[in-house]
Amino acid sequence: MTFALFQDADTKIARSLLLKDIRAISKVSWPILVGSLSTIAVSLVDAAIVGRLGVDALAAVAATGAAFAIAAELLYAFMVGYRIVSARLIGGESISAARQLFGRFLRLAFFAGPCTLAVAVAAGIGLNASISDPQVSAIAQAYFLCRLPELLIAPFSILIIATYNAQKLTRWAMYAAITNHAFNIPISVVLGYGWFAFPELGVVGVGIGSAVGSLASLSLLIAASLGSGLFQSPIAMRSKSEGRTHDTTLDQRAIGLKQALPLSFYEMVNAALDYGGNLVFIAIIGASSIADLAGSRVAWTVLLLLFIVANAAGSGLQILAARELGKQNGEAAQHLLRAGIIVTTAVTVLPALVLILQPDVVIEIYTGRSDLVSVGAPALLIVGLTAPLMALNAALVAYLRALRQSRLVMIINAASIWFVQIPFAWLLAIPMGYGVTGAYIGIAMYFATRVTASLIYRQYWLGRPS
């Protein structure tokens, strides 16, 4: 009886700690999630604005958007190393080293912007050369030029947001996103359609709106950082009041940069391999049939939406786990992983239930054509059934990144894409004749492989935080 009572008490304590971790992750994650969802919503509104400008405008934006996406993805990947190491330093109360790391990445940001801009220009030239219509090509070039300044602005915005996130002040990511949208949409509408005596600029106006929104967002972040100080966390203020400075030597400060840059390199390679895999996957569906390609568009959009939601929820886990690992508290980080899995599963699986129960209804929102519904509905069902794996993957990847295992994340992701997803998607879609349904079974196998490999590695490293 005594043992049972103590067991119940231990269970209650464990549940209490789990709920505490869930609340902590949710508190950090929800502003990031809101910011991500608002960006998705605005991208849909932006697509509607461009769509009303005509087919040429829609084609031009679609062509140049791919080039811009490549550069932006590489830029975000470059900053991952800073996000991880900064959170660990601040979590370990090494505020001086965190400031030093910020200063070094601030200098790197002046080079990162032009480098990604060069990548975007190279990709844009290649994509633009594939456009046969000279009018569409001219529109694409004009839109692209208007958006290029965003790549010079983005490194600084990402850097400041990552610094706030490391201090659990994730609301600034949400404020920045909302500020961006508040300027972007009105300016795009006014200049795109020529309202209120402004000239009708078409997609050029939409491009200007996007660039101004990015500039407004950065202005807000700079004003906030100058007003309150980027590193005025409770830890920093407590250290100051107690007369502790946490100063480190220059060699110790340099360790932060030496840790961050390799992580960024692996994440950039990972992003490039991931993007290449997506292109091959879409090509496989296109080779199956045009109807499959058209029908898969909705399933692909919904898949990306769930993936973004899962990773936004996982961001809170990554931040808090990195902070605990910075304190050399590996046990607390492992407890956070359990809570993080619950949070990512809740926000990902609940909306996916609609895809499982009513895939036909969901796809009919986008198209009324019966042939596309019959092709896309099974793919949507597979996406819904894959949601639990997607959620588990988001939590495990966040945890591995907090452990500074970006190299492993890259290896597992690349192997899962090129040795599992692509071969099986091709085999099931084309030789076996299952079309888009077979291709999306390949995606389900991709997530299953990533989760299995990550779980095996996590078990091996259990109790060995780095």
Span 416-463, pLDDT tens digits: 999 999 999 999 988 898 888 899 999 999 999 999 999 988 777 554
Q: 306-353 pLDDT, tens per residue? A: 998 999 999 999 999 999 988 888 888 888 999 999 999 999 999 889
In this structure, is residue 253 part of a structural domain? no
Query: Residues with Cβ < 8 Å from 38, sequence gap 6 or more?
Result: 174, 177, 178, 181
> What's the half-sphere exposure (Cβ side, CA atoms, 13 Å) at 445?
20
- CB contact at 8 A, 163 and 86: yes
* 71 C-beta neighbours (distance < 10 Å), count: 24
227 and 313 belong to one structural domain: no
346 and 439 belong to one structural domain: yes
Span 254-274, mean pLDDT?
85
- CB contact at 8 A, 407 and 269: no
Q: Residue 185 sits in which domain range?
A: 31-248
239 and 122 belong to one structural domain: yes
> What's the half-sphere exposure (Cβ side, CA atoms, 13 Å) at 460?
8
In this structure, is residue 10 part of a structural domain? no
Q: 367-399 pLDDT, tens per residue? A: 666 767 777 788 889 999 999 999 999 999 999
pLDDT at 127 over 80: no
Q: How many residues are present in the chain?
A: 466
pLDDT at 244 over 60: no
Q: Which of 248, 273, 288 is the last residue of a domain?
A: 248
In this structure, is residue 24 part of a structural domain? no
Check residues 132 and 422 and name the one with the higher pLDDT: 422
Question: What was the pLDDT predicted at 231?
Answer: 64
Q: Which of 198, 217, 248 is the last residue of a domain?
A: 248
Residue given tokens 């900053």 in the structure block: 79
Query: Could you give the CA distance from residue 29 to residue 23 in angstroms, rounded to a whole number?
Result: 10
443 and 388 belong to one structural domain: yes
DSSP alpha helices (H): ranges in 358-403? 359-366, 370-402
Structure tokens at 374: 């019959």
**Among residues of the chain, what percentage have pLDDT more than 70?**
85
Query: Could you give the CA distance from residue 410 to residue 262 in angstroms, rounded to a whole number?
Result: 12
Residue burial 91-122, b: 16+ Cβ < 10 Å; e: rest: bbbbbbbbbbbbebbeebbeebbebbbebbbe
- List the single range of 180-189, 237-246, 319-328 with lowest mean pLDDT: 237-246
200 and 289 belong to one structural domain: no
In this structure, is residue 17 part of a structural domain? no
Number of domains in the chain: 2
Question: What was the pLDDT predicted at 366?
Answer: 64
448 and 333 belong to one structural domain: yes
In this structure, is residue 35 part of a structural domain? yes
What is the dihedral angle through the alpha carbons of 162, 64, 311, 285, rounded to the nearest 10 degrees?
-160
Question: What was the pLDDT predicted at 466?
Answer: 46
220 and 80 belong to one structural domain: yes
206 and 314 belong to one structural domain: no
pLDDT at 35 over 60: yes
243 and 270 belong to one structural domain: no
In this structure, is residue 210 part of a structural domain? yes
Query: Could you give the CA distance from residue 350 to residue 246 in angstroms, rounded to a whole number?
Result: 44
Amino acid at 133: D
348 and 393 belong to one structural domain: yes
- CB contact at 8 A, 417 and 274: yes
pLDDT at 193 over 60: yes
Question: What was the pLDDT predicted at 95?
Answer: 81
Span 73-93, mean pLDDT?
88
In this structure, is residue 8 part of a structural domain? no
* 16 C-beta neighbours (distance < 10 Å), count: 10
294 and 437 belong to one structural domain: yes
304 and 239 belong to one structural domain: no
In this structure, is residue 433 part of a structural domain? yes
